[in-house]
Amino acid sequence: MTEFLGLLKEGNKSALMASIMNAIIAIIKAIAFFITGNVAMFAEMMHSIGDTANQSFVFIGSALSKKAPTDRFPGGFARLVNLVLLGAVLIVGILAYETVKEGIHHIIDPPESNSWFWLNIAVLGVAAILESVVLVKAMKEITADMAGEEIKGFRVVIESFKNIGDAKPATKLVFLEDMVATGGALIAILSIVIGTYTPFHEAEGYASVIIGLMLFYVVGRVFLDNAAGVLGVSDEEMEKIIGELVFAETHVKDIQEIMVIKEGEELHVELKVEFDPDMSIANAADILKNIEEKILNEKGVTEVIIESDQDDKVQSWNNPDKDT
C-alpha cells in the first residue's frame, strides 16, 4: 500500500485535476437533467461521467506505469498507461453511442420546450468555464514538456495544438476530452437557445448527436495512438535527433542501426555504431560512454543500449554533413 500511494504521487496531474473537476460537473449536470429532462443536458451529463471515469483510470495508469521493473516484468511497466487508455476509451465509446441514440430519439420525437431555460444555461455555462480551466492546464503541460519552460499568453493555445502529437499519452487524452467537453457545452447552450426561441425544437437532439460524434472522434484518436504504444511504436523524429547527435562524434564512422521505441512516456534507444578498426578498445569504450550520457540527457530517454563494430566502408546512415 505504501508503494502504491508513493506511485500515485507520480501520476499525471492534469488527469487528476480533470477527474475531480469532471466529477463535480457530472453531479451538477445530473441534477439539472433530472429536474429539466433536457436531452442536451443528458448528452453533457454522459460526457462528464465518461470523462470522470476515463481520467481517473488515466491518472492511476500513469502512476502505475512508473513502477520499477521486477523479476517477473523485467521490461518495466511503462506501457501500462497505454493499456489503461485503451480500456478507458471503451467507456467513452459506450457513452458516445448512448448520446447519439438519445439525440436521434429526440430528433424523431422532439418534446416541447420547458421552463427551465436559465437553469440549463447557467449549468452549462459553469461547466464550460470549469472545463476550459482544465483544458488550459493541459495546454500548459503540453507546452512545458515540449519547450522546457512555461509559455504565457495566447501562444500557449497555438503551441499546444502544434505539439499535441508529441504530448504524453495521458495529457493528450485530457486535452482532447476537455476540448470536446468545452466545445460540447457551448454547442448545448446554443441548441437550447434555438430550441427555446424558435420552432426548431429538434436542435437539442442534433446537438446531442454532434456531441456524441465528437466523443467518437476522441475514441478513435486515442485508440489508434495507444494501440501503437502497446505494440511499441518507433519515434522517427527522435531517431533523427539522436542520429545527428551520435554522428556529431568525430570518431563515429557510421550508424548501422538506430531504433527509438516509445514505452508509455519513456523512450528506449538501441543503436549500433561503427568505429575505425585501428581504434583501441579503451578509446572506443570511452566514446560509447560519452555517447550514452548525451543520449540520456535527451528528454524522455530512460534506457540506452549501444553496440559497436568496425567500419565496413558501407555508409548506412544518411548524413551529408558528415565528412566520411
CB 215 within 8 A of CB 124: no
What integer pLDDT is reported at residue 280 of this predicted model?
82
Tell me what the pLDDT averaged over the chain comes to: 82
* CA 175/CA 160 separation, integer angstroms: 9
Using DSSP bridges, classify how beta strands 252-263 and 266-275 pair: parallel, antiparallel or unpaired: antiparallel
**Distance between CA atoms of residues 262 and 119, nearest Å:** 47
Q: How confident is the model at residue 257 (pLDDT cuts 50, 70, 90)?
A: confident
- Taking a C-beta distance cutoff of 8 angstroms, is the pair 104, 213 a contact? no
Q: How confident is the model at residue 297 (pLDDT cuts 50, 70, 90)?
A: confident
Domains and CATH numbers, the chain: 2-231 (1.20.1510.10), 236-310 (3.30.70.1350)
Q: What is the pLDDT of residue 172?
A: 79
pLDDT at 69 over 80: no
Q: What is the pLDDT of residue 187?
A: 92
Mean pLDDT over 120-126 rounds to 89
Q: Contact at 8 Å (CB) between 247 and 295?
A: no
DSSP 3-state of 17: helix
- Work out the percent of the chain whose per-residue pLDDT is above 70: 92
User: Average pLDDT in the 176-201 region?
Assistant: 87
Binned at pLDDT 50, 70 and 90, residue 320 comes out as very low
298: how many CB neighbours lie within 10 A of its CB? 15
Is the per-residue pLDDT at 286 higher than 90?
no
* pLDDT of residue 190 exceeding 90: yes
Q: How would residue 324 be classed by pLDDT, with cut points 50, 70 and 90?
A: very low
Residue 231: pLDDT above 70?
yes
User: What does the block give as the cell for 252?
Assistant: 563515429
Residue 306 has pLDDT above 60, yes or no: yes
Mean per-residue pLDDT for 159-163? 83
- At 85, list the grid cell: 487508455
- Which carries the bigger pLDDT value, residue 66 or residue 268? 268
- State the chain's maximal CA–CA distance in angstroms: 88
pLDDT at 176 exceeding the cut of 60: yes
**Contact by Cβ (8 Å): 44, 124:** yes
For residue 236, give the amino acid letter: E
Which helix H or strand E contains 273, and what residues bound it? strand 266-275
Mean pLDDT value of segment 87-110: 85
